[in-house]
């Protein structure tokens, strides 16, 4: 037995090492899990993108399953994601709100005219303070809240059609069915 | 191969030396004293920037790092303690912002893992040394000595004679 051990132990260590390294290949260090998932959404009150005189706050998102998408016109992958948001809006499964993050108002308004507007409403976060409260560290990011306003999911990076069909829509359906 | 390795290492060192304190020009924060400024720097050096993940808030030039520095500065000015400031950031960004992660079950491996490995290595070393001691030394018989001399040449080497 001990004769084999000197070969088996290094082999076992090697296999464990390979398993860890292999797992590492599919981990993205840019995706930092948010401590906010499972907690009530942070409070905020901001001017609306389309109407600076009107405000929008976290209470607007409560009482229904809602989606909050953090975006900006300077964010390249937000443009790639936009079509997926339009698809989600078209499905009518949940209201999509936008947090226009550290952007310029006229550019953002123009963007919505040009690319289409999937949002029910947009909050205009010029200095990014609300973004910090939501733990935003790079746009685009997407949060999904249940009817009580508890954050249930955070998607980091652009939404893909795949993610929409396999993660977002099933979760929304699940949250809709549990009041 | 070795040459390549050496040049890669040298490059790493160079790059490392460059980033440690290439230091971004910090925003013009106003401090009442040098000590306060140092306190601010010490605090943000322990906090990780989430955008360029291998840099601290002190080193990073990312947009978010600028914003978070301003946030930390404001909190210090408002009289918040270091603990309150760190909690504020951890609540939003998770333990990931800490370069000095707290000791808790999910971090036991990184905190204690190296010591466990050290213990295992010490144990194996001790065992190997002990085993070597216990192996009986082989005493050469006259026949073997004769054969050895024949192989090495009939006369022993010079050095041996002198000794």
Please list, residue by residue across A2-39, b when 16 or more beta carbons sit within 10 angstroms of its beta carbon and e when fewer do: eeeeeeeeeeeeeeeeeeeeeeeeeeeeeebebbbeee
Is A132 in contact with B51 (Cβ distance < 8 A)? no
Do B91 and B34 share a structural domain? yes
Partner residue facing B93 (CB), from A30, A32, A102: A32
Task: Tell me the mean pLDDT in the region B145-160.
Answer: 74
Report residue B19's pLDDT band, with 50, 70 and 90 as the boundaries.
Answer: very low
Of the listed ranges A13-17, B62-66, B150-154, B155-159, the least confidently predicted one is B155-159
Is B67 in contact with A132 (Cβ distance < 8 A)? yes
Do B93 and B110 share a structural domain? no
Q: Report residue B97: phi and psi, to 5°.
A: -75, -10
Task: Choose from B64, B68, B117 for mutation: most chain A CBs within 10 A.
Answer: B64
Segment B27-57, tens digit of pLDDT? 678 888 899 899 999 999 999 988 888 889 9
| B contacts of A137 (beta carbons < 8 Å) | 50-51, 64, 93
Residue B4 Cα, gap to closest chain A Cα (Å): 23
Q: According to the model, what pLDDT value does residue B131 have?
A: 87
Task: Choose from B60, B66, B69, B93 for mutation: most chain A CBs within 10 A.
Answer: B93
Do B152 and B110 share a structural domain? yes
Q: According to the model, what pLDDT value does residue B2 have?
A: 62
Task: Tell me the mean pLDDT in the region A88-109.
Answer: 95
Domain count, chain B: 2
Give the 3-state secondary structure of A66-135. EEEEEECCCCHHHHHHHHHHHHHHHHCCCEEEEEEECCCHHHHHHHHHHHCCCCCEEEEECCCHHHHHCC
Picking from A178, A167, A118, the residue whose alpha carbon sits closest to that of residue A144 is A167
pLDDT beyond 70 at A135 = yes
Segment A151-168, tens digit of pLDDT? 999 999 999 999 999 999
Residue B92 Cα, gap to closest chain A Cα (Å): 5
Do B139 and B113 share a structural domain? yes
Q: According to the model, what pLDDT value does residue A90 have?
A: 95
pLDDT beyond 60 at B135 = yes
pLDDT beyond 90 at B133 = no
| B contacts of A34 (beta carbons < 8 Å) | 93-94
Q: How many CA atoms lie within 13 A of A88 on its CB side?
A: 34
Q: According to the model, what pLDDT value does residue B1 have?
A: 56
pLDDT beyond 60 at B7 = yes
Question: What three-state secondary structure class fits A51?
Answer: coil
Report residue A169's pLDDT band, with 50, 70 and 90 as the boundaries.
Answer: very high
Going from the C-alpha of B64 to that of each of A94, A139, A140, B52, B160, the distances in angstroms are 30, 11, 14, 10, 74
pLDDT beyond 50 at A37 = yes
Segment B98-113, tens digit of pLDDT? 988 888 888 899 899 9
Partner residue facing A137 (CB), from B51, B90, B95: B51
| CATH for A39-177 (3.40.47.10, 2.40.30.10, 3.40.30.10, 3.30.450.30) | 3.40.30.10
Residue A93 Cα, gap to closest chain B Cα (Å): 28
Q: According to the model, what pLDDT value does residue B158 have?
A: 55
Parse chain A into domains and list their residue ranges: 39-177
Please list, residue by residue across B33-64, b when 16 or more beta carbons sit within 10 angstroms of its beta carbon and e when fewer do: eeeeeeebbebbeebbbbbeeebbbbbbebeb
For residue B123, is it within any domain?
Answer: yes
Do B124 and B146 share a structural domain? yes
Task: Tell me the mean pLDDT in the region A16-29.
Answer: 91
For residue B117, is it within any domain?
Answer: yes
At which of B58, B80, B101 does a domain end?
B101
Between β-strands A45-47 and A55-57, what pairing exists: parallel, antiparallel or unpaired? Answer: antiparallel
Q: According to the model, what pLDDT value does residue A4 have?
A: 85
Residue B89 Cα, gap to closest chain A Cα (Å): 8
Bridge-partner residues for A145, per DSSP? A66, A151
For residue B11, is it within any domain?
Answer: no
Do B93 and B29 share a structural domain? yes
Q: Which domain holds residue B50?
A: 24-101
The ipTM assigned to this model is 0.82
For residue B32, is it within any domain?
Answer: yes
| CATH number of the domain to which B41 belongs | 1.10.8.640
Task: Tell me the mean pLDDT in the region A46-66.
Answer: 95
Q: According to the model, what pLDDT value does residue A148 have?
A: 94
Do B45 and B70 share a structural domain? yes
Q: What is the pTM of this model?
A: 0.76
């Amino acid at each position: 037995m001990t004769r084999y051990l000197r070969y088996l132990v290094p082999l076992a260590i090697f296999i464990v090492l390979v398993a860890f390294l292999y797992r590492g290949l599919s981990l993205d260090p840019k995706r930092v899990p948010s401590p906010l998932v499972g907690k009530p959404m942070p409070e905020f009150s901001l001017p609306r993108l389309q109407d600076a005189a009107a405000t929008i706050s976290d209470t607007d998102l409560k009482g229904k399953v809602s989606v909050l998408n953090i975006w900006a016109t300077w964010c390249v992958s937000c443009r790639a994601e936009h079509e997926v948001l339009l698809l989600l809006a078209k499905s009518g499964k949940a209201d999509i709100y936008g947090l226009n993050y550290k952007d310029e108002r006229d550019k953002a308004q123009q963007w919505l005219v040009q690319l289409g507007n999937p949002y029910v409403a947009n909050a205009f976060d010029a200095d990014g303070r609300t973004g910090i409260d939501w733990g935003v560290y790079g746009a685009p990011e997407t949060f999904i809240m249940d009817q009580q306003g508890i954050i249930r999911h955070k998607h980091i990076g652009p939404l893909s059609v795949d993610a929409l069909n396999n993660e977002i829509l099933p979760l929304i359906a699940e949250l809709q069915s549990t009041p | 191969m070795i040459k390549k390795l050496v040049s890669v290492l040298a490059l790493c060192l160079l790059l490392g030396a460059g980033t440690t304190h290439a230091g971004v020009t910090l925003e013009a924060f106003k401090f009442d004293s040098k000590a306060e400024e140092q306190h601010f720097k010490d605090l943000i050096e322990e906090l990780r920037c989430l955008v360029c993940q291998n840099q601290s808030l002190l080193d990073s030039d990312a947009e978010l790092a600028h914003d978070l520095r301003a946030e930390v500065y404001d909190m210090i000015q408002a009289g918040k303690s270091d603990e309150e400031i760190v909690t504020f950031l951890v609540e939003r960004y998770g333990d990931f912002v800490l370069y000095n992660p707290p000791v808790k079950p999910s971090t036991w491996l990184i905190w204690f893992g190296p010591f466990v490995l050290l213990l295992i290595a010490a144990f194996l070393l001790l065992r190997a040394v002990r085993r070597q001691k216990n192996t009986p030394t082989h005493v050469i018989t006259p026949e073997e000595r004769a054969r050895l001399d024949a192989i090495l040449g009939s006369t022993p080497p010079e050095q041996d004679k002198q000794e």
